[in-house]
Amino acid sequence: MFSTQKFQSDLATEKFGKTIVFYEEIGSTNDEAKRLAREGKPEGLLVLSDRQTAGKGRFGRKWHSPEKTGLYCSLILRPPVPVSKISLLTILAGVAVLETIQKETSLAPLLKWPNDVLINGKKVCGILTESTSKKDKVEFAIMGIGININNRKEQFPDEICLSSTSLKIESGKDIIREKFLSSLLFHLENKYTCFLKNGNKNILQVWRKHNDVLGKKVKIYQGTRLIVGLARDIDDEGNLLVETNDGNVEKVSSGELRGV
């Protein structure tokens, strides 16, 4: 089982993860963090579970959360920013996960817009940011992060087996989840503090350097709408800028991206 004691002895943050609410099993850590945030719990509180029975992904999808192999956690944030900046939190989380993987393993991850971290083209991490707002200001945001850490290939269900991977599959090594999580929170706090103080420059710089999207032909599915074009850049708010065949540049704020 995950040792919160070991995690806390490794933790070098000021705020993030200092209070941890741990469950051996829960429906979704995002839902629990939302409940606690509504009760007024402070920024930096982390909900972590060894297993989720109703782990959620984007578009109402399920996040496969088998026991003791992955990290399933949700962080309460109370950023003093307008709602228009909320997508940047997902970009920020991706960058922090990328830097943690670089630091803790010898792997070379890449970022896929808007919320995936890939290794050798396969998904190793997904991020689900949920938020509430008051008068155009973010009231709280829940940054939910799911990372496949020590999963073996045969542990993935058929439908995601080809598209998913874990740090262990890619590196051939067992990863100590407590150490990885404390390192992740350190990187998250660092990026978040820098974001609130200096804006998005650093996050976007790292994202642009380590993405798997820019310069490629993409298809983005938005419900029944499909946008096809060349991914040119991301803008200051984390929107993807896609040049369509007629030469126009579309600002895409959400959707599911696939390569062409």
List contacts with ligand BTN (CB under 6 A): 28-30, 52, 55-58, 61, 63, 72-74, 115-116, 126-128, 144-146
Nearest approach, Cβ of 117 to ligand BTN (angstroms)?
9
| Tokens standing for residue 203 | 């996050």
Nearest approach, Cβ of 59 to ligand BTN (angstroms)?
7
Residue among 124 and 242 whose Cβ is closer to ligand BTN: 124
Helix ranges (H only) for the chain are 4-10, 29-38, 86-104, 158-161, 167-171, 177-198, 201-209
Closest to 240 (Cα-Cα) out of 249, 252, 222, 257: 252
Nearest approach, Cβ of 257 to ligand BTN (angstroms)?
12
Residue among 73 and 184 whose Cβ is closer to ligand BTN: 73
Residue among 74 and 165 whose Cβ is closer to ligand BTN: 74
Residue among 51 and 179 whose Cβ is closer to ligand BTN: 51
Nearest approach, Cβ of 54 to ligand BTN (angstroms)?
7
Residue among 9 and 53 whose Cβ is closer to ligand BTN: 53
Residues 6 or more apart whose Cβ sits within 8 Å of residue 206: 95, 98, 99
Nearest approach, Cβ of 149 to ligand BTN (angstroms)?
12
Residue among 52 and 211 whose Cβ is closer to ligand BTN: 52
| Antiparallel, parallel or unpaired: β 225-234 and 122-134 | unpaired
Nearest approach, Cβ of 88 to ligand BTN (angstroms)?
17
Which residue's Cβ lies closest to ligand BTN? Answer: 126
Contact call for residues 104 and 175 (beta carbons, < 8 A): yes
Interatomic CA distance for residues 47 and 22, integer angstroms: 6
Residue among 210 and 232 whose Cβ is closer to ligand BTN: 210
Nearest approach, Cβ of 66 to ligand BTN (angstroms)?
12
Judged by phi (left if over 0) then psi (alpha if -120 to 50, else beta), residue 102 lies in: alpha
| Tokens standing for residue 81 | 């920013």
Please tell me what DSSP assigns to residue 40. Answer: T
Residue ranges with strand state E in the chain: 20-23, 46-49, 70-77, 110-112, 116-119, 122-134, 137-148, 217-222, 225-234, 240-243, 249-252, 256-259
- Classify the C-alpha dihedral 251-223-165-181 as positive or negative: positive
